[in-house]
Each structure stands twice: as structure tokens, then as C-alpha cells.
């Protein structure tokens, strides 16, 4: 289990993984030498029912993933959101270091791959 240590007004350090994370957004830009870094890779937004894939690049390794549905518009006459069904959210069975996601009822779903180097 990583122990988080506060190192400046905007940075936390995960001691076990030496990961720098800003207090408000994303990763710090300059991790210490030899540190393990984690990045998020976004897949291309997909049309309803099609697959979005996010692949870790270089020497990074897929450690987890997820999806982003993007903007889901409500029906102006009822104020209700459309029915959305996530049909795929997991690592690819045929592409290494790739996370895949798909949803029906919304356009713009994106796969998100959490990639680690170091």
C-alpha cells in the first residue's frame, strides 16, 4: 500500500510508487529520477455501440482503465437523461496494453487506459 506524503502546497508523493500528483489536476510534470510514473491515455470517442480503444505507448504497461461517456444530453421536453448501457469496459482480449470501452445510447464514449512506466 502506498503512503502519501505532502511535499508542497500542490504536490503529494506516493512513497511506495514515487508518483507525484498535483492537488488539483493530473500528474506533476517532473517526477524524480527513477520514479514510477502513471499517465492516462484516452481513446478516440466512439459512436453509439462501437468500441473505443486506449493503448499504452512506449515502455509503459497497462495497470487499469475505465471510460468517459462524454457529454450526455438530456431530453429538453422531459429533462431526463437518455438510457445508456455500457457494453464493454475492460482490457482487450487481443491487443496488449489496451483498454476498451463501448456504450449504447450515447455518442462519444472513450476508453481510458491507466499506464505505468518505471
- CA–CA gap between residue 59 and residue 93 (Å, rounded): 20
DSSP type of residue 50:
S
- CA–CA gap between residue 28 and residue 10 (Å, rounded): 9
Q: What is the pLDDT of residue 79?
A: 87
- Domain limits, the chain: 4-35, 39-117
The number of angstroms, rounded, from the C-alpha of 9 to the middle of its chain's C-alpha atoms is 25
- CA–CA gap between residue 111 and residue 93 (Å, rounded): 15
Candidates 36, 2, 41; CA nearest to 19 is 36
Q: Cell 510508487 sits at which residue?
A: 17
Tens of pLDDT along the chain (118 residues) come to: 344 444 444 444 444 433 333 334 444 455 566 678 999 999 999 999 999 999 999 899 999 999 999 888 888 899 888 889 999 999 999 999 999 999 999 999 999 999 999 8
Amino acid at each position: 500500500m502506498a503512503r502519501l506524503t505532502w511535499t508542497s502546497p500542490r504536490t503529494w508523493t506516493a512513497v511506495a510508487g514515487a508518483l507525484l500528483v498535483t492537488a488539483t489536476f493530473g500528474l506533476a510534470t517532473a517526477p524524480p529520477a527513477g520514479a514510477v510514473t502513471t499517465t492516462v491515455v484516452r481513446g478516440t470517442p466512439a459512436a453509439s455501440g462501437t468500441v473505443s480503444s486506449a493503448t499504452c505507448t512506449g515502455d509503459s504497461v497497462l495497470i487499469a482503465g475505465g471510460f468517459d461517456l462524454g457529454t450526455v444530453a438530456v431530453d429538453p421536453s422531459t429533462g431526463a437523461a437518455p438510457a445508456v448501457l455500457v457494453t464493454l469496459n475492460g482490457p482487450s482480449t487481443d491487443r496488449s496494453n489496451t483498454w476498451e470501452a463501448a456504450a449504447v445510447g450515447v455518442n462519444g464514449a472513450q476508453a481510458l487506459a491507466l499506464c505505468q512506466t518505471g
